[in-house]
Structures are given as structure tokens and as C-alpha cells.
Amino acid sequence: MDLGLGNRVAVVVGASEGIGRAIAHGLAAEGAHVALLARGGAGLERVADEIRAAQPEAEVLAIPTDVTDPEAVDRTAAAVEAHFGRVHVLVNNAGNRMRPGRQITWSDDEWMLDVNTKLFGMLRGIRAFDSLLASDGSGRIINIAGISGHMVWETAMTHAINNSAFVQATKYLATDFAPRAITVNAVTPGLVATEWRHDWAASSGATQGKSEDEFVKDVCRQKGILLNRWAEPSEVADSVVFLASSRAAYITGTTVIVDGGLCVNPRVGVVN
Ligand SMILES: NC(=O)c1ccc[n+]([C@@H]2O[C@H](COP(=O)([O-])OP(=O)(O)OC[C@H]3O[C@@H](n4cnc5c(N)ncnc54)[C@H](OP(=O)(O)O)[C@@H]3O)[C@@H](O)[C@H]2O)c1
């Protein structure tokens, strides 16, 4: 299937590791040029080098940017405009990792850190890139939400707020951008085997006398993930790449859930 992504320009926010890294690889593999954003320059350059090695024809720009800083996001949009002229695909993926604890007892600053990064970071990104987004039917905004916006995931209160807001803001923004034929969709990952999730599973497993693999299997069983495993980051990226493509031109305002059946929540568990 030709996805029509050749020579399109994609901005991936939060691209230095995890799901964003996989999204950047996936888009470049389909012929897109990519601008990679995150705070850490070293991580961004590492991913930029990986992509250049894998896709020599892709133009790759790495721009250290903190999405909690509105002026920094605006400066980055100006740098992307100076280099590429316009943007076809904007992926809002930056977010903080889940931190344990009874989050209702957190300070305002702790709540604000999570909401300011993910929810307001997404809004800042869209505001900054708004005028650069292609209005010829190829413009795409894709927001990476999370399963805690659809169901209760223990300790994840701020993530629940961000992710449920992402789903509703995506519908609002789809309406706002429709007159310019720019589609706006969300992708909701479930449990994803990112680098930090591997560390989490290995260390949590060790405290329970289990291997990482055994721990992950137990979590998947306890959570009722129908497919009985976590996702590879590339499996989330595949849905993002499709939504970014010409083949998804008539999809807007929706959320694609990539959770292995977690939301089905059969409660009785999986028989096999
Ligand atoms: N992993 C999962 O199981 C899972 C499940 C559901 C949803 N999600 C969602 O998917 C997204 C990616 O998660 P992930 O697990 O791949 O996370 P990750 O591995 O921690 O990567 C997060 C990315 O965002 C960047 N970032 C963080 N704060 C930023 C800021 N203030 N400004 C700019 N960039 C920032 C990080 O780079 P720097 O630190 O260098 O800035 C990094 O590139 C998040 O929105 C998360 O909520 C993840």
C-alpha cells in the first residue's frame, strides 16, 4: 500500500526515545522528512543518526525544545519553517512518565508539571505550527493519548486528566481545523515496551523475585490484556503512520486505541 508520505514533512514532539522515537522511524521509513523535538539534545542526535543511517534519503532535523516553554516552541516552529518551509504532519507525543503515589495529595507544582507538559505542551505545539500546516488535504495532527484516559490505571491521576482531555480536545480541534482539510486524531497506547517500561518491569520483577518476562506476563494477565502481552513501540507507530498517510484523509476527530484489548476489560481474565 502506498501511503503517500514521500517527501512530506513531519514534526515529532518527544522523539528522543520510546514511542516518539518509533514514530519518527516509522514516518521516515515511508519517505517523510522529520523534525525531532525533545529537551535532551544528545538523545535527539542519537535518534537522528539512527534515522539517517536507516533512511539516507530522509532529511532529519533535531531541535532541542522544552514544550513547557512557549517561546522555545515558537522558536522551534520558526526553525522548522526556515528549513522545510511547511509541515504536513504534527505528532504531539511528549509527556512525563508515570510517577507512583497518591496523586491527589501532590502539590500544585507536581500536578502542573504533568498537565503543563502533556496537555498544554500539545496545545502550544499546535498553536506554534498552525500557520505552517499544509491545507491541501495532506495536513495531519496526531495526539498520542494513553489508556488511563479511558479506564482507571492505578496511581495515574494526572495522566488520566491529560489523556481524557486529549480525546476531547482532539474532537474539538478536528472541528476547528476541518475548514482547512487538516485532520486531527488521537492514538491511545495501552502498555508499551518502551525503554523506561523495560527498566520498570525489570526492577519491579526483581523485587517480586520474578524475571522481567514473568513480571510482564503477570501484569498483562492481571490487567486483562486480551492479547496477553505488551505492545512494541513500533506497533503504536504503525497506527500513527497510517493516520499520517494519504490513505487516512477521511478520518478525523477520532481515537485509535492500540491496547491489545485492554479496554475490553472482561474482568474474568483470559481463558487461554
Ligand atoms: N509507555 C507507555 O506504556 C505509554 C502508555 C500510554 C501512553 N503513553 C504516552 O505516550 C507518550 C510517550 O510515552 P513514552 O513511554 O514513549 O515516554 P518516554 O520514553 O519517556 O519519552 C517521552 C519523550 O518526551 C520527551 N519530553 C518529555 N518532557 C518534555 C518536554 N517538557 N518538552 C519536550 N519533550 C519532552 C522526552 O525527551 P526529553 O526528556 O529529552 O525531553 C522523550 O523524548 C506519552 O505522552 C505517554 O503518556 C505511554
Q: Say if residue 72's pLDDT is above 80.
A: yes
How far away, in angstroms, is 14 Cα from ligand 1 center? Answer: 6
Per-residue confidence (pLDDT) for residue 249, from 0 to 100: 98
Q: Which of 66, 188, 194 to mutate to test the pocket of ligand 1 (most atoms within 8 A of CB)?
A: 194
Q: Is the pLDDT of residue 270 over 60?
A: no
Task: Please give the share of the chain, as a percent, with pLDDT higher than 70.
Answer: 98
Average pLDDT, the chain: 96
Q: pLDDT tens-digit profile of 199-255? A: 999 999 999 999 999 999 999 999 999 999 999 999 999 999 999 999 999 999 999
Q: Which residues pair with 12 in a beta bridge?
A: 36, 91
Question: H helices within 193-254, ranges in order?
Answer: 195-207, 212-223, 233-244
pLDDT greater than 80 at residue 145: yes
Q: Which helix (H) or strand (E) holds 15?
A: none
Phi/psi region, residue 185 (left: phi>0; alpha: psi -120 to 50; beta: rest), is: beta
Q: Confidence class of residue 271 from pLDDT cuts 50, 70 and 90?
A: low
Q: Which of 66, 68, 192, 216 to mutate to test the pocket of ligand 1 (most atoms within 8 A of CB)?
A: 192
Minimal CA–CA distance to 182: which of 93, 88, 86? Answer: 88
- pLDDT band at residue 154 using 50, 70 and 90 as cut-offs: confident
* C-alpha to C-alpha distance for 216 and 230, rounded to whole angstroms: 8
Contact 163, 192 (CB under 8 A): no
The predicted structure's pLDDT at residue 266: 72
Assess whether pLDDT exceeds 70 at residue 272.
no
DSSP codes of every residue in 124-160: HHHHHHGGGB--SS--EEEEE--GGGTS--TT-HHHH
Tell me what percent of the residues of the chain surpass a pLDDT of 90: 95
Q: Is the CB of 68 under 6 A from ligand 1?
A: yes
Ligand 1 atom showing the smallest separation from residue 163 Cα? 47
pLDDT bin (cut points 50, 70, 90) of residue 107 is: very high
Mean pLDDT of 172-195: 98
pLDDT-derived band at 265 (thresholds 50, 70, 90) equals confident
